[in-house]
């Protein structure tokens, strides 16, 4: 592996709670190459989003840190654009204005025409030009997420962070957006870190799947390189033995090796146990 583009080095994080500090992540190490498409997969509440938020700079790791192109990450910034799970578009701005807000931040002091061109280019990329003057409340969930992706892409991020971007969408819309995302990735070659709990999505999109153990004190359990040729076609892959092998690998990690809470909590320090059960049951509900 060459010089890592993005590196997580011994990342742990603890959150203060009324009953003492809660260790969500413990010793997460990960090296990500340029243009790599990584998915983080794991059960609900295992700290996937926490990892993403640390890379984004929204949370600060208690120990360890994140290095992007040899610089430490310690605050959020547009070079690590985030696509949020529930789109997070500003409801009072149109699709165009939402993207424009981001573009004005990264292309400040550029002529108006150039800003307009770049906003429209990014909306075009996600096929949303037809609805550019609509408010988020006037478009469907899938369309909102497209605008969210356009907004993130328009910042020309070094790393695109996606927090279960398609989690709230129906299966058909999700498939469409996955295809769009693969096209965009093939085109722009961004580094992508995406959270999902959909095994098919992970195998279809990723170059590498990072599987996380259950929390608390979650860490990376295994990683799996996906060596399927690109471009990938979901229909053809359905019968592909290699594809099904990868699926099986992920499924067995999630449901056989890390499926039961008892199994993982047995490895935790005893005194943390009560918090554990409360936290996980809360998240699951």
Q: Which is nearer to another protein, 20 or 91 (CB)?
A: 91
User: By rule CB under 8 A, what string of x and - marks binding of each residue 221-260 to another protein?
Assistant: ----------------------------------------
Tell me the HSE value of 104 on the side-chain side, using a 13 A CA sphere.
Answer: 7
Q: Is 135 in the site for another protein (CB under 8 A)?
A: yes
CB 209 within 8 A of CB 41: yes
Work out how close the CB of 117 gets to another protein at its nearest, in angstroms, rounded to a whole number.
Answer: 20
Q: Is 267 in the site for another protein (CB under 8 A)?
A: no
Q: How many residues does the chain have?
A: 285
Instruction: Classify residue 19 by burial, with Cβ atoms within 10 Å: 0-12, 13-18, 19+.
Output: exposed
Tell me the HSE value of 90 on the side-chain side, using a 13 A CA sphere.
Answer: 11
Work out how close the CB of 156 gets to another protein at its nearest, in angstroms, rounded to a whole number.
Answer: 13
CA–chain centroid gap for 135, Å, is 25
Work out how close the CB of 137 gets to another protein at its nearest, in angstroms, rounded to a whole number.
Answer: 7
CA–chain centroid gap for 185, Å, is 14
Which residue among 21, 60, 63, 92 contacts another protein (CB under 8 A)? 92
Enclosing H/E stretch for 264: helix 261-265
Identify which range of 90-98, 126-134, 183-191, 212-220 contacts another protein by CB under 8 A: 90-98
Q: Which is nearer to another protein, 66 or 182 (CB)?
A: 66
Q: Which is nearer to another protein, 167 or 259 (CB)?
A: 167
Identify which range of 16-24, 84-92, 122-130, 266-274 contacts another protein by CB under 8 A: 84-92
Which residue among 28, 82, 203, 220 contacts another protein (CB under 8 A)? 82
Work out how close the CB of 52 gets to another protein at its nearest, in angstroms, rounded to a whole number.
Answer: 11
Q: Which is nearer to another protein, 42 or 57 (CB)?
A: 57
Q: Is 56 in the site for another protein (CB under 8 A)?
A: yes
Q: Which is nearer to another protein, 80 or 279 (CB)?
A: 80
State how far the Cα of 231 lies from the Cα of 119, in Å rounded to an integer: 27
Reported for 53-61, long-range contacts at CB under 8 A and 24+ positions apart, including other chains, are: 54/8, 54/11, 54/13, 54/25, 55/6, 55/8, 55/80, 55/159, 55/161, 55/193, 56/80, 56/82, 56/161, 58/82, 59/13, 60/13, 61/11, 61/12, 61/13, 61/25
Q: Would you tell me which residues interact with another protein (CB under 8 A)?
A: 56-58, 75-78, 80-82, 84, 86, 88, 90-93, 101-102, 105, 135, 137, 155
């Amino acid at each position: 592996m060459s010089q890592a583009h993005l590196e997580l080095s011994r990342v742990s994080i603890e959150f203060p709670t009324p009953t003492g500090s809660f260790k969500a992540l413990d010793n997460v190490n990960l090296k990500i190459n340029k243009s790599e498409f990584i998915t983080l997969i794991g059960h609900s509440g295992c700290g996937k989003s926490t990892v993403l938020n640390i890379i984004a700079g929204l949370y600060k790791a208690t120990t360890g840190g994140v290095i992007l192109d040899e610089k430490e990450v310690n605050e959020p910034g547009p070079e690590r654009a985030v696509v949020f799970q529930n789109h997070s578009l500003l409801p009072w701005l149109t699709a165009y204005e939402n993207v424009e807000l981001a573009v004005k931040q990264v292309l400040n002091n550029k002529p108006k025409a150039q800003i307009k061109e770049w906003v429209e280019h990014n909306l075009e990329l996600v096929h949303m030009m037809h609805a550019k003057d609509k408010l988020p409340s006037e478009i469907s969930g899938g369309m909102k997420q497209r605008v969210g992706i356009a907004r993130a892409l328009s910042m020309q991020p070094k790393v695109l962070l996606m927090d279960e971007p398609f989690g709230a969408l129906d299966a058909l819309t999700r498939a469409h957006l996955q295809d769009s995302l693969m096209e965009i990735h093939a085109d722009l070659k961004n580094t992508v870190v995406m959270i999902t709990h959909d095994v098919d999505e992970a195998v279809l999109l990723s170059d590498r799947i990072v599987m996380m153990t259950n929390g608390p004190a979650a860490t990376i359990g295994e990683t799996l390189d996906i060596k399927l040729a690109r471009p990938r076609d979901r229909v053809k892959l359905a019968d592909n033995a290699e594809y099904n092998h990868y699926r099986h690998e992920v499924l067995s990690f999630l449901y056989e090796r890390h499926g039961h809470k008892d199994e993982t909590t047995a490895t935790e320090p005893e005194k943390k146990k009560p918090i554990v059960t409360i936290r996980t049951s809360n998240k699951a509900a």
